Each structure stands twice: as structure tokens, then as C-alpha cells.
Structure 1
């Protein structure tokens, strides 16, 4: 529950520190005093949208801090643990807003984004606004109320998940169908191109080898002649071949080594050269023998090289890139084939997804129907206590596949009859403003009683209520406060008198500024505040007596 609220430099609040207790707390004050300002500040602390104008004029920044006792709130404790935030008996939420409009949020001292502040806030406080009755005629809000009363959050989320999966598959199928005609023509082209490349079957680096082999075969005669000339010059020639000349030089210099030993390393080098010449001659003979003048092989190489160049020109690439192109086109063709196979399997998946959504949505329908029946009866009974003796209320659910959405298969309508003999009709057609306000109050109290949120706030939800009905409203809120902390802003003394504690809001004017304060009232001060609500600024003895009687009752 909310135990403390500290507000600084927010709107017309300079510095406000409020301590709150369990049970029902009433916030009262004159019209325009700023009774709702504490709720507005708390809303900001819980992640509501911030505006620079919220900062008190002349101040650098506004700051709101809310302290919650969560020792019994296992949901909030689990949420904090899951998000790796400090867990203690007290949970502290803080929000700052600068005059330039920059906003920051904190949970237990750790800075957090606004979405986390909002998510945790929903587990701590539920705020019912004074204009909520205006939403009551909206079908989406009606459905939200029924779902909140039914408390089937997991089933609702499961329905939403199943719907999203189904729609995801439907979008995929639509996209595949739109692409099918275009892909079909592309597939035909790819089949031809891949077939042509596969038939030619040029291997990586093969074209470079073809060019090399073609050059060799085209010049085979010249290569053989040059090899024969070289062999003759080096070794085979009868006169003055290189090897015989080298041997002659070695022999003559070797004979002179005894005369000059410096010739020895020269002779050794020449001997090694002779060995190298003999090795070169052997390799040259092998080369000469391997040269094959094969016109058929040359023609085949020319044909393959020509084909490669023609294919490369067609695809506007270099011949060496043909194997890479073939692999790329084969991959694209496979992807198209896979998409066709996917289209075939998608029908079955769609059927399964639709069936899964249908089953979950039907469970949701049954849960809603049960909740709608019970809620209709309870709202009718509550309306009777709110001085609408003959009123009847019904939650009408129309279930049809054509209404299917992420929220299920229902269309909802709140029907009401406020006078005897009057048929049930849609709420927005028969209820007056005052009746709508009372119906809204009945619904808020009933649905709030189902809520697991430990703190409920009501901002002037008793607008349009007076007399004995106001006392009934007070009793409803007091009873609700026995199980949940209830904080209500009210202008009705009959409601305020039922509260376990009461806070009084006052607006203080000075020469240069205006400030709102909020103080707890009790004893005689509370009697005076109730008398003021009963009789205005002029508090009579009769008003005081009435106030004491209200408190006593």
C-alpha cells in the first residue's frame, strides 16, 4: 500500500509530504483548491506523461517520491526480482521533471525507463478518474472492465498470442501469393540459365588452365624446335657444345692448380656448373618428349574457351566468374523452390494456428460469459442501493467468428433499464448523466473489489450523487477499504464521513504566489471540515451538529 507521498515544486505545490494509512482515506477541500493534485502527482510518479508546464513557476525542477509497503505484495516483489532491482519491504518510486521538460524515473534509487515505471505502477495502484463514466459507453472499455472482473489475464494473453501467430502466418501466405506469379517467371529463367551453366560445367580456376593449355598447344611446334636447339647447344652438338667446352675448361684449369692453388674454388664452381648443365639437359629431354601436337585437343580447348567467353558476355561478367555465378543462381533457384514448398506447408500451419486460436478464444468466451452474468447481477444490485430501485443491468456478449481479433471473438454491449417496464437498451441511449455516473461508480467499486492491486484511488467518482445515495457510496468505499487501501477525492460530506482518515486540501494565496497544502484532520478539525462541506464557509451550529451526526453514524 501507499504509505508516503512527497511532492516538491509540482504545479501549485511547493513542498507537500503526506503520510497515508490502511483503510479508506478521504481527500476534501474547496472547489479549485487542488484536491486532485496529489493524484496527479502520483500519476506522474507512476509513469504518466510529463510536461514542462507541470513544474511550479520559478522552480528548476519538480520531484515526486512515493513509498509503498510491499511486504505482502508478492506480485510486485517477483517483478522487482525479475528486473534485478533492489527488493525490500518498502518500494520507492521517484520521478523528476525539469523546467526544460526533461524527465527521469527511479525505482529504489536505480534509474529506469518510463515503461518499467508504468509496469510496476500497475501492480501498486489503480486510479479511477472522475471522467471515467464518460468511457463507460465505449465498447472497448466495457470489454476491458469485464476482463478485469473475470481476472483471466493469462487466458487473454494466450488468446492474443494465438491470434498474432495466426495473423503472422496469414501475412506470410499473402506475401507468398503476391510473389508467386513474379517468382514463377523468374524460376523459368533461372531453370534455363542454371541448366546452361550446369551443362557447360566450368570448374573454379578451369578457365585459367584452359588459357594456359591453349597457349601451349598452339605453340607446340615452336616449343619442340627450341627444345631441340637448346639440347644441341648444351650437350648433343658434335662441335663446341656447352658441356664439352665446360669440361675442357675444367681439365685445363685443374692442371694449373698445382701452380696456383687459388684456382681450386674456381674449378669446383665450374664442376658444379657441369652437374647443373647435365641436370638441365635431362629435364629438357623430358619436356621435349612431353610436347604433344594434338589438333583435336587444341580444337576442344578452343571450343570450350569460346563457349566460356560467350556465356560470360551474356551475363556481363568475366569468364573466370562463371562458376561463382552458377552457384549463386542455383542458390536463388533453390530459394524459390523452398518458397513453393513453404507455400504448400503453410496451408496446414494456417489451419493449425486458426484452430489453436479458436480453441483459446472459446475458453475466453466461456470465462467472459460467466463473468458477464455475475457482473450484471451485482451491478443491478448495487444500482438499487444507489437510489435506482427499478434498474436492471445486463452485459450482452455477441460471439461470432467475424468479430475475431486479438481480444477474442466477442462484441460487447452494456444494456440498462432505469425505469419499470422499460426494455434493456444500450447504456448510451437511455442513461442520463447522473445515472451514468452512479452506474459507473457501481461498476468501479465492484471491479475494484476484484482487483489484486493493493491501493485504489477514486478521483471524484461520486459526481452527480447526493443525499442518501451519497451515504451508500461512502459505505461502499468504506467496505472496500477493509480489504484494500482506498484513497478518494470527494466533495460529499456523507462520503468523507465514512473514511477512516481524512485529509483537507487548502489553497494559500500570498502577494506573489499561490500554494496548495494538504493536512490530516481529526477530532474537532474533522467536524469543522465536514460542517464546511455541508454548509459552506458560514459554519452554523446546525451544520456542526449534522457533521457530528455523520461521523457518529
Structure 2
């Protein structure tokens, strides 16, 4: 309870000291008499922002001091104890604002930052504006006050959580149901996947088949070319290898005349080695080639099937393996969606039952709390001298 407030050099106030007794205190006066300045002073001493404009003209600083009895503010007393600022059941706070804009604050004689004043003020004072009572006309505010009085915060949070989960489950259920019947799409996917799985397109198969088809279709030409090259390089009457041998012999005669050409001789000798190796590899390659019309027909039929399926699905032939994976993934998603649909229907039913039970329990508790709240407020009104006043709080179902 606020028991004393002292104000010096604030706005139009030179000096004011106001002692407050227990119970209800009403300050009345005409507009401009300074009632709002008292509230401004109380807010200032409890950590509100301030600037030099609030200092009375001609003064260098303003000062506000407030004393509170803590008998009815146990939360504030506990906070002061935590901060090592307690002082025998009362609390004195002081705030000074300098003309140059600096501000200082004290709690029970100890200098503190403004954050501490604000933290303490939240535990000491509630300030309500002149139109704040109009919030009582709003259903949401009425519910909030009743739930705070009845201690329903946990129940309200549980109900809100159930409602949010139910709303999300319904939204997902509507999305899946709005997608329409998936039976036709699944039937088509089953057919397409079965066809592709029986064909079994390998990841690199198409490129290998294309390469093999070119080789088998041109095997005769390749054999003829390899044979001709071997003849020209090594086995013919006037093969390149023999011509290089004769040139090397002529070069050796020149080396006898000019030894500086010996390096060229070595190059000639070295060049004949890869020439011989090339001829041997061509000969070996020719032995591996076979004219196999049956295998050629098999490969071409397989390639034709690749092209047929690619045209059917409107994709390049080499993308058939990727298409199969994509179709399989889509089918798995649709099947999972079916399972999720059933799961969501069951979840919605369970959540509806749980939310209804929680809402019914909360409604009952609110009616009981409403009766207690009406009695409590009525008692306070009579303590304030309004013996004929009576408050009745009714809970109605929307």
C-alpha cells in the first residue's frame, strides 16, 4: 500500500507531501488542478521514462519519493529480499531527474538502475486509466479476469492446445480429402510401374546399348579397317615400319659422317616402338570382333523398346530409370496419404472428444468461480461503504 508520496519541483508543483491512510482514497478537483501530475509522479518514481521537460521552471532538478507498506505486497517483499534491499516491512523509493537529463534512483537508500525500479513497480502498483473500465464490456476481458480469479490458466492452455491441434488436423484432413479419390491415379501408377519394372531399364544401359549397337552394326567395316591399317603399318610389302627402317639405315650412314645426328637416330628408334605396338593392338582388337547378327537384332529390339516407352511417357529414353523412381515415389506418397487420412480421421475424433471434455470441465469450474467472484467483489463493495451494492457474475454458453 502506498502510504506517502513527496514531490519537489515537478511540473507546476513546488513541494507536496501527501500521507495516505489505509482503505480507499479519492482525489478530486477541477480539470488542470494537478490530479494527473500525481499519477505522473508515481509512474516516475517507479521507473517510467523522463526528460528535463518535467522539471519545474527555474529549478535544476525534480525529486519524487514514495513509501510503501509491504503487508499487502508479499511478492514485492520477496523481490526486495532477493535483491538484498529489504527494510523492515516497508519500502522507500526515490527518483531524481537533473536539468541536464541525467536520472538517478534509490530503493531503501541503495542506488539502483531504472530496470530495478520498473521490476519493483510491477509488484507494487497497478495504474488504471479513466476509460480502462470499458474493457470490462468485452467478453475476452471478462473471461480473462474470471480465469485469473479462478486459477484456470492451466486449463485454458490445455484447451487452447487441444483446439489448435484439432484445427491443424482438420485442415490437413480437408486438404487430403480435397485432393479427390486417388484410386484411379493409383491404378494407373500400378500399371505404369509394373510395365517399367518388367522392362527394368538400367541407369547406364541405354548408352551402353547404343554403343554396342554401333559396334555390331559396323563390325565388318571395323574389321576391314583394322586389317588395312595393320598392313599399312607393319605387315605390308612397303609398310610404314619397313620404310622407317630404311630411313634409319640411311641416317646411320650420316651419323658416321656427323656424330651430332646420333640423337636423331635414337628418336627414330623410339618412334618405331609405338608404331609396332599400335599395329599389335589393332590386330588384337580385330580378333575380339565378331559378326553376330543375332546379338545385333537383340540389341536393336531392346533399343526399340526403350524408344517406345520413352515416347509413351514423353521423356527422353535415357530418363526412363528416373521416371520409374519418380512414379514409385508418387505411389508411395499416395499410399501414405491414404494411411494418413485414416489416422487423421481417428485423431480428429479423439481430439474432439478430449476438447469437449476439457471445455465442459472448464465451464463448470468457471461457473463455480463466477459465484465466488461475485461474493468477493460484493464483500469489498460493502467494506467501501456501499452496503446495497451487489455483483452477480453469470457464465453463459456462446
Fold agreement, TM-score > 0.5: yes
Which residue is 1:258 aligned to?
Answer: 256
Write out per-residue CA displacement over residues 79-120 of structure 1, whole angstroms, 9 at most, x where no aligned residue.
xxxxxxxxxx9899xxxxxxxxxxxxxxx779xxxxxx9x99
Q: Which is richer in strand?
A: 1
What is residue 281 of structure 1 aligned with on the other side?
279
Distance 1:327 1:160 in 2: 42
Question: Does the 8 Å CA contact 2:371/2:393 hold for their aligned counterparts?
Answer: yes
The residue that corresponds to 1:528 in the other structure is none
- After superposition, the Cα gap between the structure-2 partners of 1:358 and 1:296, relative to the gap in structure 1 and judged at 3 Å, is same
Residues in 2 aligned to 1:283 and 1:185: alpha-carbon distance in whole angstroms: 59
Specify which of 242, 245, 248 is matched with residue 244 of structure 1.
242
- 1:296 corresponds to: 294
In 2: Cα distance, 1:67 partner to 1:168 partner: 54
2:331 to 304, 329, 333: 333
Q: Which residue of 2 aligns with 1:154?
A: 154
1:125 shift after superposition: 5.2
Q: Which protein is bigger by CA-based radius of gyration?
A: 2
Name stretches of at least 5 consecutive residues in structure 1 with no aligned partner. 7-12, 47-54, 57-65, 79-88, 93-107, 111-116, 399-409, 412-553
The whole-number CA distance in structure 1 between the counterparts of 2:200 and 2:94 is 72
Query: Superposed, which structure 2 residues align to 1:125-140 within 5 Å?
Result: 126-131=126-131, 134=134, 136=136, 138-140=138-140
Report the Cα distance in structure 2 between the residues aligned to 1:207 and 1:155, rounded to whole angstroms: 65
Question: CA shift at 1:178, angstroms?
Answer: 1.5
Corresponding residue for 2:268?
270
Give structure 2 stretches of 5+ with no counterpart: 47-52, 55-63, 69-74, 84-91, 96-112
The answer (yes or no) to whether the contact 2:79–2:120 under 8 Å persists in 1 is no
1:224 shift after superposition: 0.8
Q: Secondary structure at the match of 2:238?
A: coil
Q: CA deviation at 1:307?
A: 3.3
Mapped to 2, the partners of 1:67 and 1:262 lie a distance apart of: 114
Larger helix fraction of residues: 2
Judging changes above 3 Å, is the alpha-carbon distance between structure 1 residues 138 and 307 closer, same or farther for their aligned structure 2 residues?
Answer: same
Deviation at 1:352, TM superposition (A): 4.2
Q: Relative contact order (alpha carbons < 8 A, sep ≥ 6): 1 or 2 greater?
A: 1
Note closer, same or farther for the CA distance 1:277–1:321 as it changes in structure 2 (3 Å cut).
Answer: same
The Cα RMSD (Å) is: 4.8
Give the distance between the partners of 2:345 and 2:168, measured in 1 at CA: 13
Deviations 1:210-254 (A, max 9, x none): 3222222221111111111111222222x2122233333334543
CA contact (8 A) 1:217 1:298 kept: yes
**Take 2:282 and 2:191, find their aligned partners in 1: how far apart are those partners?**
48
Change (3 A) 1:38 1:348: farther
Q: For the structure 1 residues 191 and 272, does the alpha-carbon distance in structure 2 shift closer, same or farther, using more than 3 Å as the test?
A: same
1:151/1:4 Cα in 2 relative to 1: closer, same or farther (>3 Å)? farther
